[in-house]
Amino acid sequence: MKPKVYIAKPIPESVEKYIAEYCEYKIWDEKTPIPKEKLLEEIKDIDGLMLPKGEITNEFLDQAPKLKVVSNIAVGYDGFDIEAMKKHKVLGTHTPHVLDETVADTIFGLILMTARKLSECNHHVKKGHWNKMDSEDFFGKDVHDATLGIIGMGRIGEKVARRATQGFNMNVLYYNRSRRKDVEEKYNVRYSDMTNLLRESDFVLLMLPLTNSTFQFMGANEFKLMKTDAFFFNCSRGKTVDENALIEALKMKKISGAGLDVYEQEPINKDNPLLLMDNVVTLPHIGSATKKTRDDMAMRAAENLVAGVTGKTPPDVVKEMR
């Protein structure tokens, strides 16, 4: 008898066929997110669950006594209660690697949009305000030959460093829990402590996973150390930044602007002051959002799911469970 799995979002037909080879499955085929009540109903008799993030708590797992694996169609897994999953002997997996280059593309797009005020210029022209005269209001900051500080030299940070040094001749400083001499040698980047990185960088990029130690890693003290003409970018997790401190730094012109793809609350609250700031580019958490990458993520999640319910070790078990 094939193991039973539930897929909590629409997936490509090729991925669905792959799962069907090994599993009996049901799928939530609506574009809207699956209601919590419906998900709780579906997990009562399944061996595996594949979903786009989600909160996996002790109470949730109590409703799924046969569950062996939760396959996240994302890199982040801060919704996993790791201790509860260990207690219930449920593996958690995610989808690293397949989206690294795509997210790095988004990051550099965000840097260019923010530094060169491209979003503001686009709106200015579309509103019919362009009168053929250059306005100093739209003078931006050069990206080429500038200094980029990367906080968190993981897989994506490395891809950004390559683009920065090889494509834009930037000086790259980085701060990381452990020094990456391989990246230093490959891309001519320099390790730095946090204080120096914040003081020297024209652009500061935060790329840390969300953990107890990285919660609100960037706060008022960190923003005070940055140059007043520097820009801040966050494409990791919203809660790695003290958002109120960021808003205050922008209001008081302690920094020049920001580019964000993630927020403390998602979707972002419509009353959030960041939405009213012309010097802040706000993206809707779309770092990995290309068709190919999202299809690849779904297939990787399916491979993790199938491995977990057929007695094999999934390729991408989250590190806290290895």
Active-site residue list: 237, 266, 285
Instruction: Give the list of residues 6+ apart from residue 136 with CB closer than 8 angstroms, or none.
Output: none
Q: Which residue, among 143, 196, 207, has the nearest Cα to 173 in the 3D structure?
A: 196
Which residue do the tokens 């260019």 mark? 112
**Phi and psi at residue 241, to the nearest 5°:** -120, 140
Cα–Cα distance measured from residue 39 to residue 48, given in angstroms and rounded to the nearest whole number: 13
Grouping H, G, I as helix, E, B as strand and the rest as coil, residue 307 is: helix
For residue 258, list its beta bridge partners.
Answer: 232, 280
d(CA 10, CA 140): 41
How crowded is residue 51: how many other Cβ atoms within 10 Å of its Cβ?
23
Q: Which helix (H) or strand (E) holds 282?
A: strand 280-282
DSSP 105-136: HHHHHHHHHHHTTHHHHHHHHHTT---SS--G
Sheet architecture: strand order including 91-93: 24-27, 4-7, 48-51, 69-72, 91-93
Per DSSP, the three-state class of 84 is helix
Give the pair of three-digit tokens for residue 32.
Answer: 């809207």
Cβ neighbours of 65 (radius 10 Å)? 11
SS3 of residue 222 by DSSP: helix
Tell which residue, 67, 112, 116, 72, has the closest CA to residue 87: 67
Tokens, residue 189: 């980047």
